Amino acid sequence: MRQFTGYSDLVRPDGVHGSVYTDPDIFRDELQRIFATGWVYIGHTSEVPNAGDFKRTTLGTAPVILCRDTEGSVQVLFNRCRHRAATVCQEPCGNAQKFRCEYHGWTYALNGKLLGIPYDDAYDNLDKSQYGLTKPRAVDTYRGFIFASMSEPKTSLFENLGAPTREQIDLFCDLSPEGEILVQAGTVKLIYKGSWKLQMENSIDGYHPNFTHQSYFKTISRMTGVKPDIFSGGSIATTRALGNGNAHIDMGAYNLVPERRQARLKALTKTPWGQQYYDDMVEAYGRERAEKVIVVGGTHMNVFPNLVVLGQQVRTIRPIEFNRTEVELAPTLLKGVPIIEESV
């Protein structure tokens, strides 16, 4: 195996060496340089709507608990007992009044505070306030998307996302007339036998859809009467960098071409529920903004290093090993929009 001595001989303007995706030393370096120092996506506030709701996830490869405490605040807690580092939460999700270590019974509140220790009289002058569950150095949200950082962040989440990325998130959330998406429609998890970077790169690869996703484009053509050519050589859709490692496939100009704009609006409003959605959006945002949001149809974006938003789907990319990645796919609902159980 090639010995890792740095990146200068691995990365060129026109390509990268294959070991960037396969070298365990590079993977360990990424965990330290990227996942241990920057803002990392953890989950969505709608996944823990009520006090006691929790979800197990990771920050990099470190196990964490996303939960809502009794005061209604969202908490991110490292899933490690302060005694011997056993996990205090074993279920993937649910509702709990507290978290209890199965090894020695140390018990913690939903905000991480240490509540009780069995046989605590054997501990001389133990200050329980110093032994709560450890938390990331920073936790913040934007439009319901929760991010955390193990280290003191160099910039705020708002600044780190930047205006172009925030604009894309806004387009996505504003698909709801109430301005909120809901990640409450279940999830699908799969293990990808490869680097986490390949998953992130593929999400903004505009070269493969015409070949990999032919059935999808046939469905769109049947629904709208317009043959999609968004990924053809002459398309005005582009892949655009958004800054700080974020990027998206910009289909806005393509979809806003008058022919396609009208086809999309016509397809939506041909049903009573579609017309009602259109009317609700116009009432919420005004006709110009509503039609732009509807026609653009959300976003096709990744937020470095582990969040992907594709249409109405949220994907979380979780590194496990240099050659193993967990991908969690979550379809989203739009708050204020009823679920219609009929085919189109």
The per-residue pLDDT for range 221-257, each reduced to its tens digit, is 787 676 666 666 666 778 889 999 999 988 877 777 7
pLDDT above 70 for 320 = yes
pLDDT above 90 for 218 = no
Contacts of 84 (CB under 8 A, 6+ apart): 103, 104
Which one is predicted more confidently, 208 or 138? 138
* SS3 state at 197: helix
Q: List the structure tokens of 153.
A: 């962040």
Percent of the chain with pLDDT over 70: 95
Domain 161-334 has CATH 3.30.300.10: no
Q: What is the pLDDT of residue 217?
A: 78
Mean pLDDT (the chain) is 92
Structure confidence at residue 2 as a pLDDT band (50, 70, 90): low
The per-residue pLDDT for range 85-143, each reduced to its tens digit, is 999 999 999 999 999 999 999 999 999 999 999 998 888 888 999 999 999 999 999 99
Q: What is the pLDDT of residue 284?
A: 97
Q: What is the pLDDT of residue 3?
A: 67
Query: What are the residues facing 327 on neighbouring strands?
Result: 190, 317
Q: What is the pLDDT of residue 5?
A: 73
Q: What is the pLDDT of residue 254?
A: 76
Owner of token pair 């608990």: 65
Which one is predicted more confidently, 1 or 256? 256
Per-residue pLDDT, averaged over 161-183, amounts to 97
What are the CA-CA distances from residue 317 to residues 30, 102, 200 (Å)? 14, 29, 8
Owner of token pair 């789907």: 313
272: left (phi > 0), else alpha (psi -120 to 50), else beta? alpha
Helix or strand holding residue 115 (H, E)? strand 114-116
Residue 342, burial from CB neighbour count under 10 angstroms (0-12, 13-18, 19+): exposed
For the chain, the structural domain boundaries read: 40-149, 161-334
Say which CATH topology domain 40-149 has: Rieske Iron-sulfur Protein (2.102.10)
Per-residue pLDDT, averaged over 187-209, amounts to 93
Structure confidence at residue 297 as a pLDDT band (50, 70, 90): confident
- What is the model's pTM? 0.92
CA nearest to 80, candidates 42, 112, 54, 126 = 112
Per-residue pLDDT, averaged over 49-70, amounts to 98
Q: What is the pLDDT of residue 307?
A: 99
Q: List the structure tokens of 10.
A: 């691995």
